[in-house]
Amino acid sequence: MTPFYAPPSFTRMAEVRLYNTLTRTVDRFVPADGTTVRMYTCGPTVYNPAHLGNFRTFLFEDLLRRTLRLAGWQVHQIMNLTDVDDKIIKRASDRGLTITDVTEPIVDTFHADRAFLRIEDAEGYPKATEHIDEMIDLVARLMDRGAAYQAEDGSVYFAIDRFDGYGKLSRLDTRQIRPGARVSHDDYSKENAQDFALWKAAKEEDEKAGAAWNSPWGRGRPGWHLECSAMAMRYLGATMDIHCGGVDLVFPHHEDEIAQSEGATGAPFSRFWCHGEFLLTDGSKMAKRVGNVATVADLREQGVSAAAFRHFVFSTHYRKQLNLSAEALEASIEGVRRVGDFADRLAAATGATPELAEVAAEAEREAAEALFDDLNAPLAMGALFKFIKRANAELDRAGNDAGAIAAARNALAGINGVLDVIPDHGPADDAGEIEAMLAERRDARERRDFARSDAIRKELEDRGIAIEDGPTGTRWKRAR
């Protein structure tokens, strides 16, 4: 197994600054109570396994979570699971299932994929279907305040004309806004075509799929936007510190969350809004509807490790678009192999020059400063590889300072505690088979059967095993 070092206790090295979509500036961040960051991250709609574009967003949020803890704060993160919406109901109706039948296996897949990519557990994963009461209460508050109305079909809509701040997150004038997503565009019972649904009157397919509940406005189900506001305020209060998601959620989802939440409470919904950019394939946004989707299962099938995918994602700033390609993944596979080799060497070292401690302190400082400056993971990654190069040079000098080794191990633990790019060595149960193949290769080389020798090397490489021939024999290691 890759050596694990307990992360050291860090002190604040620099102030934390984050880009706030609400202000369009990089602002200094401190949690409201000075201790705990209350953070809401929009989770998946669980009708299909989340794709790698979704996971780029979830990895940016994991990076944020770990950086906030590096700065010395506690984090209370809530990630919702949308388990009732139009797509889920359609899937259930098409297959003669209930929405629970559709969503439960996908929820299990999401958590397994999240664990594979080493995304830390949030403090809560509330499901929409388990918080219907909170949603009904929120709609009632909006009705009482005159911010919402019931239409002729029994659905309840939010009246955006009655909320003065509508458009402040997306910077859209209401005259530019087309009717919002996931609402009926041809419903002439709405006061304004731009009004969005808070509560949707139940249809026959909703009832059959188990997606209808009693309410003061009749049988129905919550609107997509309503779900997040109700669950966020249930667990984080009227005003949270940070709300996160992908850039595609700025409008209409997050804009509508602000309207209905602040319309009900009169308080700011979130102090900071942080959004991650798209993952592209061949220059196009990854999306199920256009068919250019890759999943965590695809990564695993291709032998791409969690460490390699994290390296790939964090090599580009979270606010810049990132293009997925085989070449980029191969570069990341090689990059984390170097990190793993260094971690192994550092674990085995017993002493080094005193200068190694200075190198470690500089790397620790540079990585932390980069992360605290709007999550500059590429710069932090650069600090890590600079550290590896300089530390290897000090280890080559073969000093006897055990304290310097401890300092280097702590620095690596601290940096990797955020980036998490040290690869696992993988299961050892096939080590015997690999050794047997190498023995066969040695025999082939002795017989000068180089075709067979090369074939064995290629077979091992295809399995992610790198071999190195040296004067003392052949060594092998897992490259991916």
397, burial (CB in 10 Å: exposed 0-12, middle 13-18, buried 19+) = exposed
**Domain end among 288, 313, 348:** 288
409 has a pLDDT exceeding 80: yes
Asked, for residue 231, whether it belongs to a domain, the answer is: yes
Q: Tell whether 118 and 169 lie within a shared domain.
A: yes
Residue 332 pLDDT class (50, 70, 90 cuts): very high
Q: Structural domain of residue 102, as residue ranges?
A: 31-288
Taking alpha carbons only, the member of 139, 116, 134, 110 closest to residue 197 is 139
Taking alpha carbons only, the member of 50, 203, 205, 38 closest to residue 122 is 38
Instruction: Mean pLDDT check: name the lowest of 219-233, 240-254, 324-338, 453-467.
Output: 453-467
> Does the pTM exceed 0.75?
yes
Q: Provide the pLDDT for residue 407.
A: 97
Asked if the peptide bond before residue 49 counts as cis, ω within 30 degrees of 0, the response is no
72 has a pLDDT exceeding 80: yes
Average the pLDDT over 7-30 and give the result.
80
Asked, for residue 308, whether it belongs to a domain, the answer is: yes
pLDDT tens, residue by residue, 35-54: 999 999 999 999 999 999 99
**What's the total number of domains in the chain?**
3
Q: Tell whether 105 and 207 lie within a shared domain.
A: yes
Q: Which two tokens stand for residue 60?
A: 């940016």
Cα(171)–Cα(320) distance, integer angstroms: 20
Q: Tell whether 231 and 352 lie within a shared domain.
A: no
Residue 12 pLDDT class (50, 70, 90 cuts): very low
Average the pLDDT over 263-288 and give the result.
88
Say if residues 1 and 353 touch (Cβ distance below 8 Å).
Answer: no
Residue entry with tokens 């997050």: 254
Q: Provide the pLDDT for residue 473.
A: 73
| Percent of the chain at pLDDT exceeding 90 | 75
Q: Tell whether 195 and 343 lie within a shared domain.
A: no
The sign one gets for the Cα dihedral 293, 312, 55, 97 is positive
Q: What is the domain-level CATH number for residue 336?
A: 1.10.730.10
Asked, for residue 180, whether it belongs to a domain, the answer is: yes
Residue entry with tokens 């994602």: 313
Residue 446 pLDDT class (50, 70, 90 cuts): confident
pLDDT tens, residue by residue, 182-204: 444 444 456 678 899 999 999 99
365 has a pLDDT exceeding 90: yes
Q: Tell whether 204 and 66 lie within a shared domain.
A: yes
Cα(108)–Cα(85) distance, integer angstroms: 18
Looking from the CA of 268 toward its CB, the CA atoms found within 13 Å total: 12
pLDDT tens, residue by residue, 334-353: 999 999 999 999 999 998 99
Mean pLDDT value across the chain: 90
Kindly report each contact of residues 459-465 with a partner whose C-beta sits within 8 Å and lies 24 or more positions away, as own/partner.
460/434, 463/303, 464/303, 464/426, 465/434
- 297-332 burial, b at 16+ Cβ within 10 Å, e below that, comes to eebeeeebbbbbbbbbbbbbbbbeebebeeeebeeb
Asked, for residue 368, whether it belongs to a domain, the answer is: yes
Residue 172 pLDDT class (50, 70, 90 cuts): confident
Taking alpha carbons only, the member of 134, 188, 191 closest to residue 160 is 191
Asked, for residue 12, whether it belongs to a domain, the answer is: no
Q: Tell whether 372 and 463 lie within a shared domain.
A: no
Average the pLDDT over 291-305 and give the result.
85
